């Protein structure tokens, strides 16, 4: 199994900052709120969950991951809500430009991986990984 893991540093900073703001809001609500009413506890619970989601980068879904195992390419990209699993023998071609890596299937489907926000070295690593594992 080969795997490439990339983190989008800009998104990571923004999400972690929002998480810290949510945790600070929890502290402010605890200091200024009325503990005897139920909306106080709902706010605390909701902001804690939101803060944890932001601090953990949406529970790991904002981490870009390409994995090749037993002839299957698994893509977990920050813009895709779910994992995409593609058989490597079904790939027709892989195209790359400044903003996207496009994986064209023999059926005509196209999967676009946005790479415009990634650093140059990370873009090159994605292209190199796909070239080595798929042969395109």
Mean predicted confidence (pLDDT) in 48-69: 89
Domains identified in the chain, total number: 2
DSSP 34-51: -TTSHHHHHHHHHHHHHH
- Residue 61 domain-assigned (yes or no): no
3-state secondary structure of 84: strand
Between 57 and 107, the higher pLDDT residue:
107
d(CA 94, CA 126): 11
Is residue 29 within 8 Å of residue 40, measured between CB atoms?
yes
pLDDT bracket for residue 18 (50, 70, 90): very high
- Residue 60 domain-assigned (yes or no): no
- Residue 48 domain-assigned (yes or no): yes
Using one digit for the tens of pLDDT, what is the confidence trace for 91-106? 999 999 999 999 999 9
Instruction: Provide the mean pLDDT of the chain.
Output: 91
Regarding whether 51 and 76 lie in a shared domain, the answer is: no
Regarding whether 46 and 92 lie in a shared domain, the answer is: no
Model confidence, pTM: 0.73
Regarding whether 130 and 80 lie in a shared domain, the answer is: yes
Regarding whether 51 and 72 lie in a shared domain, the answer is: no
For the chain, the distance separating the N- and C-terminal CA atoms, rounded to the nearest angstrom, is: 18
- Residue 17 domain-assigned (yes or no): yes
Region of residue 71 (left: phi > 0; alpha: psi -120 to 50; beta: else)? left
Three-state SS string over 95-117 comes to: EECCCEEEEEECCCCEEEEECCC
Range of the domain at 103: 68-134
């Amino acid at each position: 199994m080969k795997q490439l893991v990339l983190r989008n540093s800009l998104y990571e900073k923004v999400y972690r900052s929002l998480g810290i703001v949510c945790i600070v809001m929890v502290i402010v609500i605890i200091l200024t709120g009325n503990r005897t009413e139920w909306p106080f506890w709902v706010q605390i619970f909701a902001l804690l969950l939101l803060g944890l989601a932001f601090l953990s980068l949406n529970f790991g879904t904002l981490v870009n991951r390409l994995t090749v195992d037993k002839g299957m390419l698994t893509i977990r990209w920050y813009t895709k809500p779910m994992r995409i699993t593609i058989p490597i023998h079904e790939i027709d071609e892989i195209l790359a430009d400044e903003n996207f890596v496009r994986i064209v299937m023999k059926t005509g489907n196209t999967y676009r991986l946005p790479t415009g926000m990634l650093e140059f070295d990370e873009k090159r690593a994605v292209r190199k990984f796909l070239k080595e594992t798929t042969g395109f």
